[in-house]
């Protein structure tokens, strides 16, 4: 089946020579084509050209997209979108001066979300979570990673991951799952953090892998959560069971998470609000994708990940939403794109590459999505917004996506 889109005002994010990722100065460049046609064959990009220069290819179906621009599907590589409800009361506590860490230390935060999720009916949790995923897709996200981590006991972690898999079977977007049992220490292990780590190693991780429910393993390695030593043990055990590592690191302090990510060969190290020269040097000697989560910095009023220093060091850099009920209740990567520019001083093109190709790379999906390249999944979205590469992050707070196509099919 060959489908042809004609009279497209502009196509952005084209790769003639596909790269696995963009680093340093390369991130400021995006390939665009004006007054174009785009050919999709069997759900994959098959070619493109200029309306008045290149002859139109034959197709089974042809659609005119006059006045619309096209961007590749966005990749949200870090979400916690399966949750029971927002933590509005904690938000009000923070508005009055309490900090995220104080609330967590008093048994709120992630533990509050876990208590709610454990008692929530699986069907209702599925419906709510699916609804959120559909909103993410409507905003142009065509690949979404979903973490567990609000169960914190075997049956509830499995419940979350089964729901994530079920969502993956019921939407056309690409869904990847991550086991985050080491997100916080649950009340039944209070004061016995090492015992909880053993419990994850001996019971939870084998159960998750036994059912094939996770594509990656993640640990919240930070002040007040899991130590670098505990994290490394967990990630090494996961690797033996075939799960690559992703990691929450350096959100609250410098606690060795970046170094652990490098030793464990993690695919990404996410957050990095607190990093220094040592961490940047460590990233330079690794294959770890640094990932910034500006929605968290905005909502918690904490420092932003130093994107300019990371990119200035010649590194690649990705951005994700961290969509969750406590620290980053944002589902739109368009908003993340805007925050990346306004708050982290990334150029619109850099932040765009950070939520498309580099984000795909952080999930090792750069060969199938993240840009418009021959043979990649035809994941893309259309917009009526002219000059989309600048105007989408500029006019923040509205959804610029008109139609979203997942593997060549309109959502
Ligand atoms: O990435 N930092 C750890 N985990 C989430 C927060 C989850 C929550 O507060 O519910 C994050 O910010
Ligand atoms: Fe997170």
Q: What is the pLDDT of residues 79-96, one digit of tens each?
A: 999 999 999 999 999 999
Average pLDDT, integer, range 229-251 = 98
The overall average pLDDT reported for the chain is: 97
- What pLDDT does residue 396 have? 98
Q: How far is the CA of 269 from the centre of ligand 2 (A)?
A: 11
Residue 350 pLDDT level (bands cut at 50, 70, 90): very high
Average pLDDT, integer, range 261-287 = 97
> Which residues form the pocket of ligand 1, taking CB atoms under 6 Å from any ligand atom?
80, 109-110, 113, 220, 248, 251, 296, 322, 324-328
Which of helix, strand or coil describes residue 179? strand
CB 267 within 8 A of CB 244: yes
Number of the ligand closest to the Cα of 146:
2
Pocket test for ligand 1, best of 220, 222, 299 (most atoms within 8 A of CB): 220
Domains observed in the chain: 2-73+371-410 (2.30.40.10), 75-362 (3.20.20.140)
Residue with tokens 């294959």: 287
CB 125 within 8 A of CB 113: no
Q: How far is the CA of 327 from the centre of ligand 1 (A)?
A: 6
Q: What percent of the chain has pLDDT over 90?
A: 99
Average pLDDT, integer, range 241-256 = 96
- What pLDDT does residue 54 have? 87
For residue 296, what are its two tokens?
């968290």
Q: How far is the CA of 139 from the centre of ligand 1 (A)?
A: 22
CB 45 within 8 A of CB 70: no
Is 0.85 topped by the overall pTM?
yes
Which of helix, strand or coil describes residue 135? helix
Q: Which residues pair with 406 in a beta bridge?
A: 409
Average pLDDT, integer, range 247-262 = 96
Q: How would DSSP label each residue in 66-102?
A: TT-EEEEPEEE--B----S---HHHHHHHHTT--HHH
- How confident is the model over 161-217, as pLDDT tens digits? 999 999 999 999 999 999 999 999 999 999 999 999 999 999 999 999 999 999 999
Average pLDDT, integer, range 290-316 = 98
Which residue, judged by its Cα, is nearest atom 1 of ligand 1? 322
Q: What percent of the chain has pLDDT over 70?
A: 100
Pocket test for ligand 1, best of 270, 326, 329, 336 (most atoms within 8 A of CB): 326
Q: How far is the CA of 217 from the centre of ligand 1 (A)?
A: 15
Which residue, judged by its Cα, is nearest atom 12 of ligand 1? 327
């Amino acid at each position: 089946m060959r489908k042809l889109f004609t009279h497209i005002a502009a196509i952005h994010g084209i790769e003639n020579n596909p790269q696995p990722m963009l680093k340093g100065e390369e991130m400021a460049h995006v390939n665009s084509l004006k007054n174009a046609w785009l050919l999709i064959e069997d759900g994959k990009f098959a070619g493109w050209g200029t309306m008045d220069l290149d002859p139109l290819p034959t197709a089974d179906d042809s659609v005119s997209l006059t006045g619309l621009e096209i961007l590749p599907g966005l990749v949200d590589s870090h979400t916690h979108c399966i949750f029971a409800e927002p933590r509005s009361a904690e938000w009000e506590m923070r508005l009055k001066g309490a900090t995220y860490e104080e609330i967590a230390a008093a048994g709120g935060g992630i533990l509050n979300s876990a208590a709610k999720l454990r008692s929530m009916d699986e069907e209702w949790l599925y419906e709510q979570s699916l609804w959120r995923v559909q909103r993410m897709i409507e905003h142009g996200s065509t690949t979404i990673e979903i973490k567990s981590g609000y169960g914190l006991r075997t049956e509830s972690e499995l419940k979350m991951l089964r729901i994530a898999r079920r969502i993956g079977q019921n939407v056309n977007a690409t869904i990847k799952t991550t086991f985050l049992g080491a997100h916080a220490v649950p009340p039944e292990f209070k004061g016995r953090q090492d015992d909880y780590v053993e419990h994850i190693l001996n019971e939870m991780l084998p159960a998750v892998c036994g059912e094939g429910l996770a594509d990656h393993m993640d640990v919240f390695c930070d002040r007040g959560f899991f130590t670098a030593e505990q994290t490394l043990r967990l990630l090494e055990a996961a690797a033996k069971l075939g799960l690559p590592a992703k990691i929450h690191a350096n959100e609250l302090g410098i606690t060795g998470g970046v170094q652990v990510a490098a030793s464990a060969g993690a695919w990404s190290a996410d957050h990095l609000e607190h990093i220094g020269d040592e961490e940047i040097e460590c990233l330079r000697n690794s294959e770890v994708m640094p990932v910034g989560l500006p929605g968290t910095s905005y909502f918690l009023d904490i420092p932003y990940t130093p994107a300019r220093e990371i990119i200035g060091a010649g590194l690649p850099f990705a951005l994700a939403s961290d969509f969750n009920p406590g620290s980053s209740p944002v589902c739109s990567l368009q908003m993340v794109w805007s925050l990346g520019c306004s708050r982290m001083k990334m150029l619109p093109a850099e932040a765009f590459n950070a939520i498309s190709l580099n984000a795909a790379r952080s999930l090792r999906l750069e060969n199938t999505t993240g840009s418009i390249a021959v043979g990649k999944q035809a994941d893309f979205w259309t917009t009526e917004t002219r000059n989309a590469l600048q105007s989408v992050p500029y006019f923040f707070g509205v959804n610029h996506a008109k139609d979203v196509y997942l593997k060549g099919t309109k959502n």
